[in-house]
Chain A
């Protein structure tokens, strides 16, 4: 299936490398966001739209 998928292509290493890079980054990012961080770590970030500053008339 692997060979059939890439039939007619001369640069098979390129998309495979890109796919691996994508997968590893993605897994690392998900782990970092959901396993190593808690909701509280992002509380300040998530409240940024609600803290524009005190309006001066």
Chain B
């Protein structure tokens, strides 16, 4: 083996760009978050403007924080560390530039469309189809640039951080593409090809894994690079990092259904989701401990170095969030916590604590190096640290109290079996102080963040941006002998695994004890033979099969993709093929009328799902408060599903017919006149704005293509039927002295709300169903 010295100039300009974008959008995302937090305590802070209302700004807040703040931060970290770990400049500067500017354009498009109500209503995937396509294209550009750099690398070993980046790139692509399958109605409106239970499972498979593979795995890669760098010592256990990686990649993808516990999702899928979430405890904490133990013997540095302070706190919050996540996935805990503010506290522990503090640590590390000037103020960085840490703690604790309070009040029963707090607004009034304290915690975090911006600005002002050039020693190895990709695929370990798998599978289905014992012995023999052969080859100095994989990015990527796909396919395929249209009650479901469909689109445009669920769980308290538990077949024509994930307001699954149309009209104009104590904003503009009646037949025709059983006659008569149904609502309102246009949005939305829960086969019995669980009460 010979060595040569080569000069490599890294592209640090792209790192600076992503870092600046992250800081800028981070401030915007946090500011919007604070604004909507204040709206929950003082709903009039939307100033009566549709575009600044909580339900439209909340998706903007989540998208800004996830994709703009953390996304840009992640790209900065990936571009910086990848070049150094591979000892190679990014393959193509133009691709890097396209990636940067394309991503920023997508963010701007999101910032414009979401307040306008242009949304798919799928959480963290709200952007409409043209933007979805743009995301896919830009992601491909990033992937090409990354893998091209891998191919041109000067370091043969792939450090574990690179593994995490590979997993991120391939998994996010799969998640985004599958969850975005939709048929467009127009340039800015589409409908998910999935419906009801299927849509819910696909969405939360995506939603959960967006957290896993966008907010976690790339940041873990960043942790494995920057933490040893800042501490000046290698990671505590490289072997543990390998186990951490593979365990996370295999397990995370299965855990999505824990977002749907006690819903109409089949029991087996819920149980798998819970089981894998609990298993995640081990690798997550393994990773956290690996990060913290890297500082073994260097804890004195943490006292002095703000970078390490942020990293240590960030990793600790990772540990807290990954402890709390599995805890919340236990069905009896979920029964209490789901739909409450506890979940909000949990996700902010992850986003502000893990992502936010890791980002701050990385920025404080990068700025002095990218501008070749020391950090302006360590004291300001320390102040930022304490403001952020106390701010997050204040936020999380207030949301824990609020969430547990909500959960307990919702389920509280009197001795005679009636609800102790029958009015939903009683719970809202009880938790209002917590909303104010939460806003205070968020404000502290924001002030700390602004302090960081000031500190970084002072650091870089007057400094000249520098691109690092290094001399690296490159080991030139003779052409790799031994297996190529084909040989890797046909390698002995793979065959041993397949044989062992078949035998193990047969063991579970064995019908007699003798066969089972025989199969168990066979599995052990195969394992032993594999062990002996592998040891012999090792002693003979042959490269192991896994070593070959580790050095081949393509094979490694394919393996990672298979690991990820196994969980997704095994979980989603049975659900897609399930006969969900067969109703338990034997009664056929009726598709929405043209007017109801128009109203449903307004429901998604205004983001009603942000605060209201449409999913009654099989629990006594839910039955008493909302009615019969939801069943899978009730949602078969729901493109997209509207189950929601939070109850700032009550569930609406069976709201239809509960109140007269006048109540809805009054409630949406002035919520507190019908529901004192409510924190819902006024939606008065719905009376003034009008639907486009001509869209009705187009919408029904598109739904027909998606499998909703509309006849051609239904489509031809859609406009006329729409007007007829609207006129009955208008006449009803007129009797009570309210005049409103038949094609006003208010009428369409009322028609949809009055339809909810009035499908065929809904039991009207006053008795709670015998199967109702008490949900841990």
Write the residues of chain A forming the contact surface with B, with a CB cutoff of 8 angstroms: 5-11, 14-18, 20-22, 24-26, 28-30, 32-34, 36-37, 39, 42-50, 52-56
A15 touches B272 (CB 8 A): yes
State the Cβ distance, A14 to closest chain B Cβ, in Å. Answer: 5
A42 CB to closest chain B CB, in angstroms?
Answer: 4
Choice from A6, A25, A46 contacting B497 with Cβ under 8 Å: A25
A6, A24, A48: the one contacting B155 at CB < 8 Å is: A48
Q: For the complex, what is the distance from the CA of A57 to the CA of B322, rounded to whole Å?
A: 43
Give the residue among A7, A17, A32, A46 with the most B Cβ atoms within 10 A: A46
- B246:A46 contact, CB within 8 angstroms: no
B487 contacts chain A at the CB level, 8 A cutoff: no
Q: Which residues does chain B contribute within 8 Å of A11, judged by CB atoms?
A: 573-574, 577
Given A14-B570, A48-B159, verify A33-B578 contact (CB < 8 Å). Answer: no
Residues of chain B with a CB closer than 8 A to A24's CB: 497, 500-501, 504
Chain A contacts for B238, CB-based, 8 A: 39, 42, 45-46
- Knowing A24-B500, A48-B157, A53-B472, say if A9 contacts B268 (CB, 8 Å): yes
Query: Which chain B residue lies CB-closest to A27?
Result: B527
A33 x B243 contact (CB < 8 A): yes
Does residue B505 face the partner (Cβ distance < 8 Å to A)? Answer: yes
Of B225-233, B712-720, B738-746, the one contacting chain A is B225-233
**Residues of B close to A6: CB separation below 8 A:** 268
Interface residues on B, range: 35 or more
Cα distance, A42 to B250, chains bound together (Å): 23
Q: Taking chain A's interface residues, is the majority helix, strand, or loop, or is none over half, making it mixed?
A: helix
Given known pairs A9-B574, A48-B157, A53-B470, the reply for A33 and B239 (CB within 8 Å) is yes
Question: Which residues on B sit within 8 Å (CB–CB) of A56?
Answer: 7, 469-471
- B208 contacts A by Cβ under 8 Å: no
CA–CA, A39 and B239, complex, Å: 7
Closest Cβ–Cβ distance, residue B370 to chain A (whole Å): 13
On whether the beta carbons of A18 and B570 are closer than 8 Å, the reply is yes
- A11, A17, A18, A50 pick with most chain B CB within 10 angstroms: A18
Partner pick for A17 among B81, B505, B571, B574, CB 8 A cutoff: B505
Cβ contacts A to B, 10 pairs, < 8 Å: A14-B573, A18-B567, A18-B569, A20-B501, A24-B497, A24-B504, A26-B250, A30-B243, A39-B237, A48-B155
Instruction: List chain A residues, Cβ under 8 A from B161.
Output: 49
Residue of B239, B271, B567 near A37 (CB, 8 A) is B239
Q: With A18-B567, A18-B569, A56-B470 given, can you name 10 additional A-B contacts, CB distance below 8 Å?
A: A15-B574, A20-B505, A36-B538, A44-B157, A46-B235, A48-B155, A49-B234, A49-B235, A53-B472, A54-B470
Residues of A within 8 A of B239 (CB): 33-34, 37, 39, 42
Residues of B close to A20: CB separation below 8 A:
501, 504-505
Judge whether A21 and B501 touch: CB under 8 Å. yes
B160 touches A45 (CB 8 A): yes
Q: Specify which chain A residues have a CB less than 8 angstroms from the CB of B569 in the assembled complex.
A: 14, 18
Q: From the candidates B225, B251, B471, name the one contacting A54 in the complex (CB within 8 A).
A: B471
CB-defined contacts of A5 to chain B, threshold 8 Å: 267-268, 271
Least Cβ–Cβ distance between A52 and chain B, in angstroms: 5
Min distance, Cβ A1 to any Cβ of chain B, angstroms: 10
Give bound CA distance, A9 to B266, whole Å.
8
Q: Which residues of B contact A37 (CB under 8 A)?
A: 239
CA distance A20 to B566 in the complex (A): 11
Q: Are A45 and B570 in contact (CB under 8 A)?
A: no
B224 and chain A: residue at smallest CB distance:
A49
Q: Is the CB of B470 within 8 A of A18?
A: no
Across-interface contacts of B535 in A (CB, < 8 A): 36
Indicate if B508 sits at the interface (CB-CB under 8 A): yes
Q: Counting CB contacts under 8 A, is B468 at the interface? A: yes
**A26 and B247 contacting across the interface, CB-CB below 8 Å:** yes
Instruction: For the complex formed, measure the closest distance between the CB of B360 and the CB atoms of chain A, giving whole angstroms.
Output: 20
List of A residues within 8 angstroms of B508 by Cβ: 16
Chain B 238-282 per-residue mask, 1 if CB under 8 angstroms from chain A, else 0: 110011001100110000000000000011100110000000000
B85 and A48 contacting across the interface, CB-CB below 8 Å: yes
- Which chain A residues lie closer than 8 Å to B538 at the CB level? 36
Contact with A along B529-566 (1 / 0, CB 8 A): 00000110010000010100000000000000001001
B681-732 residues with Cβ-Cβ distance < 8 A to A are none
Chain A residues, Cβ within 8 Å of B243? 29-30, 33-34
A8–B566 contact, CB under 8 A? no
CB-CB < 8 A to A7: which residues of B?
Answer: 267-268
Residues in B whose Cβ lies below 8 Å from that of A43: 234
A7 to B537, CA, bound (A): 46
Residues from chain A with Cβ under 8 Å of B567 in the complex = 18
Cβ contact within 8 Å between A32 and B268: no
User: Which residues of chain A are within 8 angstroms of B470 by Cβ–Cβ distance?
Assistant: 52-56
Question: Which residue in A8, A29, A34, A47 is a CB contact (below 8 Å) of B268?
Answer: A8
Tell yes or no: B8 within 8 A of A by CB: yes
Whole-angstrom distance between the alpha carbons of A30 and B566 in the complex?
A: 19
Tell me, in angstroms, the Cα distance from A26 to B249 when the chains sit together: 11
Q: Do B570 and A10 touch across chains, with their CB atoms under 8 A apart? A: no
Q: Which residues of A contact B159 (CB under 8 A)?
A: 45, 48-49
Task: Please indicate the chain A residues that have their CB under 8 angstroms from the CB of B271 in the complex.
Answer: 5
- Complex: how many Å from CA A42 to CA B224? 14
